[in-house]
Amino acid sequence: MSESFNAVLVEAREKPIVSMLEDIRVYMMTRWAANRERVLNYPGNIMPMIRKKLEKRTSLARDWRPYWSSASKYEVMCGLDKYVVDLTAGECSCTKWQMSGIPCPHAISCIIFKGLNLESYVDDCYKKEAYIMCYKEVIHSLNGLELWERTQYDDVIPPPYRKLSHRPVKKRKRRAADEDNRSQTHLSRKGEVQRCSNCGGVGHKKSGCSQPKKRTQSSTKRAKKNAPKLAPGQTVWGGRKKNTTPSPTNLPASHTRKTPPHKAQET
């Protein structure tokens, strides 16, 4: 309840003390009036959340078979499981009825077997009369600053504003008990051994590795894949490769092949 109330006052906590208290008072005044009006128009006797729990336990009670022992005591059985229920004392050997004030499935099976009213065995704190008693008091409205009574004392001046060196904290500090309430969208790495992907050592990451970084095969393939496609003879900077092999027209005279005389006469 305190955490829910603290989440509503996130904006009010940043204001001065008087303004913060006024926001809290207005919020409580409107909330109490809305709850008071809502409970008066509620048709049932058991509050909605408790009624849902009662219906869920009633659906589980059909698996249990009660055996009448005395005026108000029963032995409830389901397979090899057995529990003792005392309707007069409002007790069950499973202790769920005593702890919550709501009849457990074992007790509900006995109540239905006897044909009694189920709501009469629910604790009075879950009923409509108790809810009305909680909100019967009224938080009265107040006038503004102009109509407040003036006193002979000096006005209370707020302390000088001191700007912090860090971002103001709005969320509460997490405790050890909140570890189980964390988001389960990602797997936890708690207890795993930290191993470097560069050198294979234990206790540090690749970013803090002192060994020279290796050029992996995947990075080489990625570089080749992202390399631009070149035309035949074209270089990366846009030019063309120089032809180092001499063409037949540029060959020196000593390298030219002369046709034999007998070949020339035949042609």
Q: Which of 37, 225, 239 is nearest to 132 (CA)?
A: 37
Domains of the chain, residue spans: 1-41, 48-131
Return the percentage of the chain with pLDDT > 70, whole number. 75
Tokens, residue 119: 């709501």
Say whether pLDDT at 10 is over 70: yes
Higher pLDDT, 171 or 5: 5
Q: Give 60's contacts (C-beta < 8 A, 6+ positions apart).
A: 105
For the stretch 51-71, pLDDT in tens is 999 999 999 998 899 888 887
The whole-angstrom separation of Cα 41 and Cα 29 is: 19
CA distances from 6 to 11, 120, 169, 172 (A): 10, 36, 13, 9
Confidence of residue 165 (pLDDT cuts 50, 70, 90): confident
> Helix or strand or coil: residue 124?
helix
CB 174 within 8 A of CB 164: no
The mean predicted confidence, pLDDT, of the chain is 80
Tokens, residue 156: 């209370």
The predicted structure's pLDDT at residue 25: 92
